[in-house]
Amino acid sequence: MFEFITKYFWILFILGILAGIFLPFSSLFTPYILHMLMFVLFLSCLKIDINKLFRKIRDLKLIVYLVFLILIIVPSFV
């Protein structure tokens, strides 16, 4: 999918421009525009190596430690 987007970026770019011109005030997406922009900015700044992610997810000690830290320790100080 990523290769498709990078190879045919110009098509997606032109489609976005045309949608903005012909559907500028579409009431369908108006309540979600801010959330969509935040999601796009978050994903554009995110660089994830999928193999590294799966290796970290399989590390049970790390997961237990983080869950304990986030759900037990931090709320006890707040």
Q: How many residues does the chain have?
A: 78
Tens digit of pLDDT at every position of the chain (78 positions): 667 777 888 887 888 888 878 877 667 767 887 888 888 888 777 777 778 878 888 888 988 998 999 999 888 887
Quote the CA–CA distance of 70 and 78 in Å, as a whole number: 12
Q: Where are the domains of the chain?
A: 47-78
| Structural contact between residues 30 and 24, judged by C-beta atoms closer than 8 angstroms | no
Quote the CA–CA distance of 44 and 30 in Å, as a whole number: 22
AA identity, residue 48: I
Tokens 């969509």 found at: 36
SS3 49: coil
- Taking the model in full, what pTM does it have? 0.36
Q: Give the pLDDT confidence of 24-41 residue by residue, as tens digits.
A: 766 776 788 788 888 888
